[in-house]
Amino acid sequence: MPAITRLLLDGQPAPVSHYCHVVRAGNLIWVSGTVGMAADGSIPDDVVAQFDLAVRNLDTCLKAAGAGPEHVVKVTVFLTDIDDRKRINPARQRYFGEHRPASTLVEVTALVLPELQVEIEAQAVLP
């Protein structure tokens, strides 16, 4: 079995429970749900701004584990309003470009903090 590396990253929002930001085992990577919150705890009001920040946080986690958007094989996006999908899609397309991961989109009644509107988790595979 490959070694398991668990990363808690500086510059990321502190975990609100008992988990780390990203886990790598061999060539497999799992990123915990990233949200649109800055390291200082600030949260934009707009879902698109939150999504952009969540994607930057996701990218930071992937890079810390040696990966990038081209390595993501599966994403799950949680939205508090499913109709926001069309608003966040342009940013999603910019980030992943030609790399289309498998995806699940779920509407939820709430996220860990009441002002959060979006959360993204990802799985990646390195060659």
pLDDT in tens, 90-126: 999 999 999 999 999 999 999 999 999 999 999 999 9
Number of structural domains in the chain: 1
Strand arrangement, sheet containing 118-125: 4-7, 22-25, 28-35, 118-125, 72-79, 102-107
pTM: 0.95
Whether the predicted pLDDT of 1 surpasses 80: no
Whether the predicted pLDDT of 16 surpasses 90: no
Q: What is the pLDDT of residue 44?
A: 97
Angle at 43 between CA 13 and CA 41, to 5 degrees: 35
Q: pLDDT grade, residue 2 (50/70/90)?
A: confident
pLDDT in tens, 44-67: 999 999 999 999 999 999 999 999
* Domain coverage including residue 105: 4-125
Q: What is the pLDDT of residue 14?
A: 87
pLDDT in tens, 63-89: 999 999 999 999 999 999 999 999 999
Which CATH number do you get for residue 75? 3.30.1330.40
